[in-house]
A and B are shown apart, each in its own frame.
Chain A
Amino acid sequence: MHPLRHPRNAIFLGLLFVGIGLVYLFVPLIGGWHVDYAGATMLIALGAAMSIMAYVLIAGSPND
């Protein structure tokens, strides 16, 4: 199957956002700058939601 068609790979889209969210959370935390907890929460949740969405859309699509 083409890599773009495999449901498991679709999750990477969401994991990308989780990754960005974690960077957004930990870089200021470790660097001692102001931490935007609200933004980090929303980004990480976005990643989770995107992963689920991408997975169900690809896995749930017909086989053609």
Chain B
Amino acid sequence: MATTTLHPAAPTYRGARGTLYEWVTTTDHKKIGIMYLINSFLFFFIGGLLALGVRLELAQPGLQFVTDQTYNELFTMHATFMIFLFIIPILAGFGNYVVPLQIGAPDMAFPRINALSLWMLPLAGILLLISFVTGGSAAAGWTSYSPLSQDRPLAATGSGQDLWIVGLVLIGTSSILGSVNFLVTIFKMRAPGMTLFRMPIMVWTVLVTMVLVLMATPVITSALIMLFIDRNYGGSFFDPANGGDAILYQNVFWFYSHPAVYVMILPAMGMISEILPVFSRKPLFGFKAFIFATAAIGALGFSVWAHHMFTTGAVYLPFFSLMTFLIAVPTGVKMFNWTFTLWRGQLMLKTPLLFALGFLTMFLIGGINGAFSASVPVDFAIHDTYWVVAHIHYVLFGGSVFGVMAGFYYWFPKMTGRMLNETLGRIQFVLMFIGFNLTFFPMHELGLSGMPRRIADYASNAAWNDLNVAATIGGFTIALSMLPFLWNIFVSLRSGPVAGDDPWEGNTLEWATSSPPPPYNFDHLPEIRSERPLFDQRHGQAAGH
């Protein structure tokens, strides 16, 4: 039986409504997860608006709309919001909602700390937003390299940079507390029968992600603190005139920020690994290989950080180039596994699968142009050009954002009890896919022909005009695709078809309870003998493992 009846004593969760007070003071991982999503999407839109500002200025040579300084603020804060207040938290938010359900737990291990982690985010976001009106935001790039990010010798940034540092330290703390929470939850609170190797891939990717967060985030906290001390207390960490080293900042910064990119992609890969089997009506190909590939990516991710610093002359090039190439191996294993999951499957071309297919193709492109960049001579040519911008957006937008959209369409019915509209979903997908490629594909050519990053203006005889216009049109198309998305949510929340417990015929435990689940998650858990407990329940047990 796939349906569960709500215990009479459970408060009604229809539409996941509750009073404002209930939401603000909740420690329920499901409500907290949803608020993570809301906060993250809010900053996605803000970051998107900043990107539109960038694209508007770059469409034509010459400074039409903003000054150089304002342009620097635009791209700095675009990246800052997108990385720290959108992609990392939204994946944590999905994890928050889904992981306890998928392991059959009633909540996270530390519900109050969970709430604390959540509320630190809008607080940090407000600090970052305030900086726009208190004399200008940070403007030294999201990487904030010294000496540009210090006020010497040029007063390039003001208090905005300090607010930026404080905001990021808050966000980092939120992440670290979250990672402790997830790790204890996953290791201590699994339902009986759910061994580590029977956990869904989503839980595994969240596990590895949280190890990365736990180990790497404190390092950027230390880099930011050192920067703060240099800026405000006459410190000399990064000041060569007093014995410091500007490259030291980059070294410590990237020791975190490289593992951070795996933090930004692994949970999205987990979501895709949940969606592809369900919508191909086939088990995930190579389940165990997946787990090891995920662990390998996590481990290798710590050994490649200096590939962001190849051109500084201070890096042992062969080591980092080799390790960077090596990471392509477990990633390739995953691509093959996903492809063979789809192969000869009975594909249900619903919106989650569309976005998953978008993920596979776009992330593949991002992986390939990244593999090129791993080669030192190539990197010397394309470092700090638009080739890199193309790479990062193909993996982060083509990969993570498409993954997020797939996951959103997949789990929205569970969270709200309503189905999202398929037609609107398809319209969003098509607009987003076209817009995304129109924006970022030309950047490969722009980078190869030498257009540098982070410039507000470019020469009109560089032959970059047309590609920039194309990219700007693409950017606005992406913005357009947000309209059917928002309309879909609005309409479906009010009058979408009722979802029931298990609208997709899923494999994992979250589909074994009502939509939305009661506060304590499960009235009754099915027997767990494999990584697909619901499939087993529906079809009689296959050989468990």
Contact = CB atoms under 8 A, between A and B. Distances in A.
B303 A20 contact: yes
B226 to A, nearest CB: 11
15 contacts: A16-B299, A24-B316, A34-B316, A36-B251, A36-B314, A38-B248, A39-B305, A39-B306, A42-B219, A42-B255, A53-B215, A57-B187, A61-B188, A62-B188, A64-B195
Nearest to A5: B196
B227 to A, nearest CB: 15
B187 A60 contact: yes
Given A38-B252, A39-B255, A39-B306, A50 B215 contact: yes
Contacts of A62: 188
Interface string A23-46: 010001000011010110011001
Nearest to A49: B215
Contacts of B211: 50, 53
A36 B319 CA distance: 12
A50 B193 CA distance: 27
Contacts of A28: 316
B214 interface: yes
Interface of B: 183, 187-188, 192-193, 195, 211, 214-215, 219, 248, 251-252, 255, 299, 302-303, 305-306, 314-316, 319
A49 B180 CA distance: 14
A24 B319 contact: yes
B319 A17 contact: no
A20 B248 CA distance: 20
Interface centre among B188, B302, B305, B306 (most CB of A within 10 A): B302
Contacts of B315: 36
> What bracket does the count of chain A residues touching chain B fall in?
20 to 34
Contacts of B192: 64
Chain A, interface SS category: helix
A53 B214 contact: yes
Contacts of B251: 36, 38-39
Contacts of B219: 42
A30 B255 CA distance: 24
Contacts of A57: 183, 187
A13 B292 CA distance: 13
Contacts of A33: 316
A60 B193 CA distance: 18
Which 9 pairs across A and B sit closest by C-beta, in order of nearness? A38-B251, A61-B187, A42-B255, A57-B187, A49-B215, A38-B248, A46-B215, A39-B251, A46-B302
Nearest to B186: A57
A45 to B, nearest CB: 9
Contacts of A61: 187-188
B302 A43 contact: yes
Contact of A42 (B183, B252, B299): B252
A38 to B, nearest CB: 5
Contacts of B319: 24
B187 to A, nearest CB: 5
A32 to B, nearest CB: 13
Nearest to B183: A57
Nearest to B302: A46
Contacts of A53: 183, 211, 214-215
A39 B323 CA distance: 15
Nearest to B295: A13
A48 B305 CA distance: 19
A37 B302 CA distance: 16
Interface string A8-21: 00000100110010
A61 B303 CA distance: 28
Contacts of A39: 251, 255, 305-306
A35 B237 CA distance: 18
Contacts of A17: 299, 302
Contact of B188 (A13, A20, A50, A60): A60
Contacts of B305: 39
